[in-house]
Amino acid sequence: MNHVRTWTLLLTCSLLTAGCGKAATPAKAAAVKVGEAAEKAGEAAKVGATEATDRAKAAAAAAQKVALVAKDEAMKTAKVAADGAEATARAAKAGAEKTAEAAKAAAAGAAAPAGEAANVPADWTAVLKDPSKATATAPAVFRVKFTTTKGDFVMTAHRDWAPKGVDRFYNLVKAGFYTDIGFFRNIGGFMVQFGIHGDPAINSAWKPARIDDDPVKQSNKLGYVTFATSGKDSRTTQIFISYKDNSFLDRMGFTPFAIIDAEGMAVVDTLYKGYGEGAPRGKGPDQGRLQSEGNTYLKAEFPLMDFCKSATVLDGK
């Protein structure tokens, strides 16, 4: 009997033990899965944190780069503005100095004794049609008033600057050559040119009447006046006025002989510049046609062009 109890008891414990083992197995598996899930979650969080850190670093680097570019551009902009202001100031100062220099020279000419011309022709009207009669020796210093369609300006000539050129200029003015002639070549920032007559017959007479060169003693600066030249000893009747420092012309044989002060240059600067350079390089008049057709050509095809109405010697007989 005792043996039966014993075996019964052993059997019961065995069954209980087996049941407990079965119950523990799912719990253990669940615990393992939870652990694995936690481990994966940790790895994911770690990866996410790394990626976030990398993105943050990249964003910070990009922001720093943008800041550096912006700083560089700001510095460049400031430098360009400063350089531009400095260049403008230098140009303004240079222009003021040149204008003051021109005014000073013109004033000195006006104050100098005019003197008188020598070898004056008996009939200035004859000189206009015959250059061989242009025999006058100009005064040492004299002024010429130009009346134009935009107002008046005064040119002061200095014979010691260019004796041959000044004598030719004096004879032309006294003979009335610069009456009703166009400012046919006007290039802004360079010069304005005139001196081809409106009468083709007069052009034919003066075109071959060349004078020898004078040595260059003055520079072709703002307000200075020189004869146009196409080469050695080729000056005739055409002259031009510099709008700026054109000293590069000095070495090319352009010899200044007169000057216009700042007040006069203010008038000269208003002369119509719209036609610019002459044909065929520009849309201005063709000099060949102007020589042969005169004012008939100019006034028909260039209606906006300004003209010199007259030129008069103010002092010096």
Among 44-48, 63-67, 108-112, the range scoring the smallest mean pLDDT is: 108-112
Cα 222 from Cα 218, distance rounded (Å): 12
**pLDDT tens column, 245-269:** 999 999 999 999 999 999 999 999 9
Partners of 3 in the β-ladder: none
Structure tokens at 74: 């700001």
Higher-scoring residue by pLDDT: 74, 215: 215
Whether cis (ω within 30° of 0) applies to the bond prior to 163 is no
Stronger pLDDT, 20 or 128, i.e. the higher one:
128
Given a cut of 70, is residue 179 above it in pLDDT?
yes
**234, two tokens:** 């080729």
Average pLDDT of 228-252? Answer: 96
Q: Which residue has the higher pLDDT, 309 or 81?
A: 309
Least confident of 53-62, 271-280, 293-302: 53-62
Residue 45 pLDDT > 60, yes or no? no
> What pLDDT was estimated at residue 55?
72
306-271-125 Cα angle (round to 5): 50
**pLDDT value of position 261:** 96
Q: Encode pLDDT of 63-80 as tens digits.
A: 677 567 657 765 665 564
Q: Whole-angstrom Cα distance, residue 149 to residue 19? A: 127
Mean pLDDT of 277-284: 91
Contact by Cβ (8 Å): 165, 235 = yes
The answer on pLDDT for 21 being more than 50 is: no
pLDDT at residue 142 greater than cutoff 90:
yes
Average pLDDT over residues 36-41: 61
Residue 124 is encoded by which pair of tokens?
A: 């200035």
User: What pLDDT was estimated at residue 285?
Assistant: 97
Average pLDDT, the chain: 82
For range 115-143, the mean pLDDT: 94
Give CA 286 to chain center in angstroms.
26
- Is residue 7 scored above 80 in pLDDT? no
Q: What is the pLDDT of residue 68?
A: 77
d(CA 131, CA 207): 10
Of 65-69, 124-128, 289-293, where does mean pLDDT reach its minimum? 65-69
Predicted confidence (pLDDT) at residue 13 exceeds the cutoff of 50: no
pLDDT band at 111 (very low <50, low <70, confident <90, very high): very low
315 or 254: whose pLDDT is higher?
Answer: 254
pTM over 0.75: no
